[in-house]
Amino acid sequence: MTGINGADIRKIVVACDAGMGSSVMLASQLRRELQSSSICVEHHSVDSIPADVDVVVCHSALAQRTRECSPGVVVVPFHIFFGDPAVAALVSAVKNRQQLYGSPRP
C-alpha cells in the first residue's frame, strides 16, 4: 500500500474520466479546504495526470485505471463527490501532518 505524510504533499490532482462537472467542483472544494497550505490542487483526466503529482483523488470506478496510469502515486478513491470520508481523511492528513495511505489494489 502506497503512503505519504500530509506534510510532504505538494500537488494533488482530482482525476476524472471525460467529464468535468463534479470533479472540477471537488477540486475547487479541496483548494478552499487546503488554502492555508501551499498545496497545488489541479484537475486532469486520468490519462493526463502529470508526473509530479503526489496524490490523485478519483472516483472508485477509476481507481485501478489511475493506478495503471500513475504507478507509485497515492490514489485516494471516493464513492460520492461531496462529503466522502476518503476526501475528509486526505484533508485531515494534510492539516494534521499525518500519514495518508492510498487504497490497496482490489
Give per-residue pLDDT as tens, 42-71.
Answer: 999 999 999 999 999 999 999 999 999 999
Of 16, 40, 58, 69, the catalytic one is 16
What's the average model confidence in pLDDT over 63-83?
93
Neighbours of 76 (CB within 10 A): 23
| Residue 40 annotated to the active site | no
Alpha helices in the chain (DSSP H): 21-33, 63-69, 85-96
Neighbours of 28 (CB within 10 A): 13
CATH number, domain 3-101? 3.40.50.2300
Query: Rg for the chain (alpha carbons), in Å?
Result: 12
Kindly give, in sequence order, each residue whose CB lies less than 8 Å from that of residue 103, ignoring residues fewer than 6 positions away: 1, 63, 75, 76, 77, 86
**pLDDT at position 21:** 79
pTM score, two decimals?
0.93
